[in-house]
Structure 1
Amino acid sequence: MSTTTSPFPPIADYAFLSNCHTGALVAPDGSVDWMCLPAFDAPSAFGNLLDRGAGSFRFGPYGINVPTARAYVPGTNVLSTTWHTRGGWVVVHDALTMGPRQGEDTVTPHTRPPADDDADHMLVRTVECLDGSVEVELVCEPAFDYGRVPATWSQVDEHAADASGADGTFRLATDMLVGIEGPSVRARHVLSKGDKAFCALSWNGTAVPADAEDAARRIDATIQFWRDWLDRARVPDHPLRTHLERSALTIKGLTYMPTGATVAASTTSLPETPHGERNWDYRYTWIRDTTFTLQALHYLNLDWEANEFMQYVADLEPNPDGSLQIMYGIDGRRDLTESTRDDLSGYEGARPVRVGNGAFDQRQNDVFGAVLDSILLHTNRSRHLPRRLWPLVKSQAECAIEAWQKPDQGIWEARGEPRHYVSSKLMGWVALDRAAKLAEIRDDEKLAASWRATAEQIRADILEHGVSDRGVLRQHYDTDALDASTLLAALFGFLPPDDERLRKTVDAIEEELTENGFVLRYKTDETDDGLSGKEGTFLICSFWLVSALAVVGERDRAESLMERLVRITSPLGLYAEEFEVDRARHLGNFPQAFSHLALIQAAGRIILADFREELSL
């Protein structure tokens, strides 16, 4: 299917809205094509992203589908879209609104201390006519439970109606006159210069904006929320500043405020391979992401968010052996059983559409290193090791000792045979190295010495079995194939920057595991991942290469790749999981937290090198 005939907008053309409880994706034509209520991982009420009949909500000028300009209100996750029609000009603002907390949240209850501001549980959309005369339309056609259940509407009055289905209910309110037409509610109204109108969806009971001025106040309050939040971040004055700010806003937008969890992405089943089967549900929290999340949050001076995330990790229920699963629900639930929605077409025919993630109970031995590196990062930053985290340190260290010699599915969750993946062994070394340092902070020299000895044993094993004859780190012990995850050896200090094996690994990946300079995870024809089809380059791996190049002193090469990566950002500054080089388009779930976290880390290394050069002048 060509992009010129596809009814699906390009993945990178969507705007991401968030209230830190759920998210929404807005297409360029003004249609909300993805929104799950009331939380990120709930069933969708608007699912046109995965099937053009699975629910949408458009608000914009009648008969015009291509906007003149789209941008975030600076420093926010509030979308501003300007339209030029034959009759005039209008601007639409869209926001999942935030405001002062109004008592207990019964929609998505908190397990973390409530903040001063919280979600309204409302999508607010305002329009203002800037010039001339423009006819505006509203078409709201939800389909609950991932498109399975068309909405049943009941009219409240001439300006409001309630939609219900599959145990879900919300209210649509507007100052336009609405009418019910089967599964949809519609409205049309002509605005002249200076006129304003609004519409809002509310799933918090019956609270809705009283009028257009009230709706505008809620948008303004949301703008203020995001700007106040971003003002707390430490963002250096550097050419990469705007990318850091957008990444920070995206990571915050992917945070589930009630528990402190961070979702990997706001979507499910956007394809890694066009029209293929590599479609996964990413609306959960990967423990592997913990260390990258902590690195990014602490780098940006967002210590409150970092602490909230660590408390979420501390609350998680471990497996019977004391280990943590590789992923959990945003509410901490363990069972993420995977199913398919075979009635949905999938994005551009990419099937199956998956809900849940069958990898949740895989063995992945890298998880222990991610947890313990996170705890050490957090401890060094706060200068305090919380008492409740010490049992977690011991349990994860013990699990790493038990597991490091066993094969696993690896960092990429391969669905083929378990292997002795080098990156898993590497993260086993990270686990024991960080555990030893934490034991030293606790003044437990006996444990520190024991864990340090095991870390050295793992290092020796990797260097004996995980390095090819040409001196390059392998994907796993039974192959000479390359894997981008071995770049973690540079990021986690496994080898010193001047080690020849590290440099050769970085060079080999840059030269042999790239397409047009962008990095693949691995070559699918050399890896038994249990799936068919080729995949795009992985953006996180490209950002890892930037960091690795900076570590080994190749600053010019690092900056060159970083410049290329920031040039392929979406029109609104967002990244999906992958980038298809041949057609220069984003693939995979969107927006992708891992990509933005890796951007922050890579940018941090480049900025540090630039500042050091300034100081040496």
Structure 2
Amino acid sequence: MASTDDLSIDKPDDLPVLSALSPSRHRGAHPPIDDYAFLSDCETNCLVASNGAVEWMCVPRPDSPSIFGAMLDRSAGHFRIGPYGVNVPAARRYLPGGMILETTWQTETGWLIVRDALVLGPWHNNDQRSKTYRRTPMDWDAEHVLLRTVKCVNGTAELEMSCQPSFDYHRDTARWEYTGKVYEEATAVRTIDPSGGPSLVLTTDLRLGLEGREARARTRMKEGDQIFVALTWSDLPAPRTFEEAAQKMWATIECWRQWITLGNFPDHPWRNYLQRSALTLKGLTYAPTGALMAAATTSLPETPGGERNWDYRYSWVRDSSFALWGLYTLGLDREADDFFCFLNDATTGAHGEPVELQVLYGIGGERDIVESELEYLKGYDGAQPVRIGNAAFNQDQHDIWGTMLDTVYLYVKSRQQVPETLWPLLERQVNAAIKHWREPDRGIWEVRGETQHFTSSKVMCWVALDRGAKLAEMHGQFQRATEWYAIAEEIRDDVLANGVTSEGVFTQTYGGNTLDASLLLVVLTRFLPPDDHRVRATVLAIADRLTDNGLVLRYRTETTDDGLSGEEGTFTICSFWLVSALVEIGELQRARHLCERLLGFASPLRLYAEEIDPRSGRHLGNYPQAFTHLALINAVTHVIRAEERREAGQFQPAHSPPIGPV
């Protein structure tokens, strides 16, 4: 029988003993965003602070109302397990190849090891088909269990467990009731709306005490002692003993390792960054539908204490498509299959009629993502408002057709065949780009100011026509391909006439002079070849003039009407885009230096938020961010492949075959 790994740890003489701090149940200031660990079972996810507290979790779906929300308000619920009076661990890591968090604790008298996971196991829906699972089932499936195991590996230590849920974004309080024979099980029910969502069942080999909305336990562990705590929210059985818990933990490790071995990862010092990014992207997928979320959180601020706080727990067509670039690069294409099926579902009505593509969807395919503000929540570090929903769902953003068609082209070009069921969807997107490319929109950055003629939106409309024409050729629609190539050339001529300065630098909007990092897509999408003088001028202008302490801003807020106040940090995806663009124009040494610097900004667990404060290194915005991790994969792969070609005497970036997202 599998069990947790035995770890023999001797207390080092030169390691200072951690002083006893305030009891952990006293909630203090927010931890840094990059302090959180991310756990997922591809149906639910959560964030765990370094003090051992789950501070963000929504069930049954990642976009459901929160049950633990201390990340956004210190009184909005948490679930902590760790040594009593100690809040700073000795070490934290993911077990290699998966999403099992291991935290090592040192107290004055002993050492503890805590492992956390959202449990995966063999596919379990064998008696009844799921009503919501629409994608091809994998061999393993979510068991809807948050499992936490503890082992005392040296000396003795006082262990404390505190589970204090707060339902519906802290709008409905929890009431605990014993539901086991003695003290081993309790159920948290909703006080205001008992039918408003699933109840929570806490199962453990500790002795639970119930104190209002909190379930607590405390015990002294000695060397060799092992305990488990399992939180469940479905009818699937929780483990009843530590042996069962250890078996489920081991099965979860095996599930993740089976998945990661499907990828192609280079034997390189940056390999671990690629693997962690791939695992993060997989963890942000919603397996029942194939959707991929932009991030796991809502309203983590882009500006400390500011109003740039958005809900990213939805599936953006653009973000998801870009994310698949990264997975393709690593040979992980099953997620692409599922995402295309998700898009097909989202753009097909109940009776098979075509439905217009929109900017973003709920992870179940929902179209109306109404935005509202939760004014009673204090917000992360005081940043308000806290928003749920996202009003961008009905914006006009003309880049979405190009990003989707570019991803489809990447998907099918190695197969040289367009799936028959996919062709009507592709044709509709090309026709939409033809119809709207001359119109203003809100651009890739979803500005809330006035619509404008954003150059990058026009470039992506060109991508829609260019990739559509290539796909038409594969599908045997040669006349259609000829027509679409001609329109693509018309769009390119228009962009070059209106979106480029006299110095040959692409501008944010037609007729303007403002730089925008999205113009790095000019080279990454092959709108122009890398050796074109306008490409080089634009890449170097962004590198030299649109950076803060070497990191890339998406634009200067003081010269861009985005409808919001305040500044923001540097956009990490844009910095990784710059790495790829520098490789393309032959600036390999500069690209490597920037890439190394960006990797150095990763969280201790190699995760990234949306932005980085270039002076403090502080992570800003929602977390972990799919957009950032996909750009990391492409940038790192660009540098590695270019260096391999250089060492082989073949490095000619301006003329070499496309690398990554083309």
TM over 0.5: yes
Deviation string, structure 1 residues 569-605 (Cα, Å, up to 9, x no partner): 0010000000011222000000000000000111111
Partner of 1:132: 155
The residue type equivalent to 1:375 in the other structure is V
> Structure 1 residue aligned with 2:212, among 182, 186, 202?
182
Tell me which of 170, 192, 195 is aligned to 2:225.
195
Matches within 5 A, 1:377-388: 377-388=410-421
**1:167 and 2:167 are equivalent in the alignment:** no
What SS does the aligned partner of 1:376 have?
Answer: helix
Q: Is the contact between residue 60 and residue 137 of structure 1 (CA under 8 Å) also seen in structure 2?
A: yes
1:47/1:524 Cα in 2 relative to 1: closer, same or farther (>3 Å)?
A: same
Q: How does 1:294-313 map to 2 (within 5 A)?
A: 294-313=324-343
| Cα drift, residue 334 of structure 1 | 0.3
State the 1:207 CA deviation: 1.2
Equivalent of 2:304 in 254, 257, 274: 274
* Structure 2 residue aligned with 1:284: 314
Q: Which residue of 1 aligns with 2:607?
A: 574
Kindly indicate whether the alpha-carbon contact (under 8 Å) linking 2:164 and 2:213 is maintained by their aligned counterparts in 1: yes
* Alignment partner of 2:137 out of 114, 124, 133: 114
**Other structure's SS at 2:199 match:** strand
Say if 2:187 is the partner of 1:154: no
SS of the residue corresponding to residue 173 of structure 1 reads strand
Contact 1:318-1:324 within 8 A present in 2 as well: no
Residue in 1 that maps onto 2:431:
398
The superposition leaves residues 385-441 of structure 1 with CA deviations (integer Å, 9 ceiling, x where unpaired) of 111110011111110000100000000000001000000000000000001101111
Query: Which AA in structure 2 matches 1:298?
Result: Y
Task: Give 1:66's aligned residue.
Answer: 88
Cα distance in 1 for residues equivalent to 2:415 and 2:34: 37
Q: Tell me how far 1:449 sits from its aligned partner.
A: 0.7
Match status 1:433 vs 2:458: no
Which residue identity lines up with residue 440 of structure 2 in the other structure?
A: P
Which residue of structure 1 aligns with residue 12 of structure 2?
none
In the other structure, the counterpart of 2:9 is none
| TM alignment of 1:15-414, pairs within 5 A | 15-103=37-125, 109-157=132-180, 158-165=183-190, 166-205=196-235, 207-317=237-347, 323-414=356-447
Partner of 1:545: 578
TM-score, with structure 1 as normaliser = 0.97
Match of residue 481 from structure 1: 514
Partners of 2:355 and 2:236 lie apart in 1 by 45
Unaligned runs of 5+ in 1: none
More displaced 10-residue stretch of structure 1: 315-324 or 264-273: 315-324
1:293 positional shift: 2.2
Per-residue CA deviation, residues 336-394 of structure 1 (Å, 9 max, x unaligned), is 00011111000011110000000100000001101111111111133331111100111
The answer to whether the 8 A contact 1:290-1:374 is kept is: no
Paired amino acid for 1:175: D
Out of 635, 641, 651, the residue aligned to residue 602 of structure 1 is: 635
Residues 22 and 40 in structure 1, CA contact (< 8 A), matched pair in contact too: yes
Q: Is the 8 A contact 1:132 1:192 kept in 2?
A: yes
- Cα drift, residue 168 of structure 1: 2.8
For residues 107 and 96 of structure 1, the distance between their equivalents in structure 2, rounded to whole angstroms, comes to: 20
Q: Matched residues in 2 for 1:6 and 1:359: separation?
A: 34
Which is further off, 16-25 or 319-328? 319-328
Match of 1:615 in 2: 648
Q: CA deviation at 1:325?
A: 0.3
Q: Quote the offset at 1:607 in angstroms.
A: 1.4
- The aligned counterpart of 1:8 is 30
Structure 1 residue 321: deviation in Å?
8.6
Q: Name the residue aligned to 1:565.
A: 598
Change in CA separation of 1:210 and 1:6 when aligned onto 2, cut-off 3 Å: closer
Corresponding letter in the other structure for 2:453: H
Deviations 1:440-485 (A, max 9, x none): 1112111011100000000000000000122100000142000000
Distance 1:107 1:569 in 2: 38
Q: Distance in 2 between the 1:322 and 1:220 partners? A: 44
What are the residue-to-residue correspondences of 1:492-571 with 2, within 5 Å?
Answer: 492-571=525-604
- Deviation string 1:136-186 (CA, Å, 9 cap, x unpaired) is 111000000011111111111311100122433110010000011001100
Gaps of 5+ in 2: 1-26, 191-195, 651-662
What amino acid is aligned across from residue 313 of structure 1 in structure 2?
A: L
Q: Which amino acid aligns with 1:120?
A: E
Residue matched to 2:4: none
Q: Give me the TM-score of the superposition, normalised by structure 2.
A: 0.91
Q: Judging changes above 3 Å, is the alpha-carbon distance between structure 1 residues 468 and 321 closer, same or farther for their aligned structure 2 residues? A: farther
Contact 1:40 1:283 in 2 (8 A): yes
With over 3 angstroms needed to count, the CA separation of the structure-2 counterparts of 1:474 and 1:108, relative to structure 1, is: farther
CA distance in 2, matches of 1:145, 1:107: 25
Cα distance between partner residues in 2 of 1:162 and 1:381: 52
Of residues 294-303 and 78-87 in structure 1, the stretch that sits farther from structure 2 once superposed is: 294-303
User: Residues 86 and 108 from structure 1, CA distance in 2 versus in 1: closer, same or farther, beyond 3 angstroms?
Assistant: farther
Residues 564/236 of structure 1: CA separation in 2 closer, same or farther (3 Å cut): same
1:181-224 CA distances to partner (integer Å, 9 max, x unpaired)? 00110001111100000101011126111111111111111111
Q: CA deviation at 1:555?
A: 0.6
Q: CA deviation at 1:291?
A: 3.2
| 2:602 alignment partner, SS class | coil
* Secondary structure class of the residue paired with 2:38: strand
Question: The residue matched to 2:490 in structure 1 has which SS?
Answer: helix
Secondary structure of the residue aligned to 2:536 is: helix
Which moves more between the two structures, 267-276 or 199-208? Answer: 199-208
8 Å contact from structure 1 (residues 368, 397) kept in 2: yes
1:108 offset after TM fit, Å? Answer: 7.8
The alpha-carbon distance between structure 1 residues 563 and 206, as it changes in their structure 2 partners (threshold 3 A), is closer
Q: Deviations over 1:52-78 (max 9, x none)?
A: 000000011111111000000111111
Superposed displacement of residue 297, structure 1: 1.5
* Aligned residue identity for 2:176: W
Q: CA deviation at 1:106?
A: 7.8
Asked if 2 retains the 8 angstrom alpha-carbon contact of 1:25 and 1:32, the reply is: yes
| Equivalent in the alignment of 1:447 | 480
Return structure 1 stretches of 4+ with deviation > 3 angstroms. Answer: 104-108, 318-323
Q: What is the root-mean-square deviation of aligned Cα atoms in Å?
A: 1.5
Matches of 2:569 and 2:129 in 1, distance apart? 42
Aligned residues: 613
Q: Partners of 2:48 and 2:274 in 1: how far apart?
A: 22
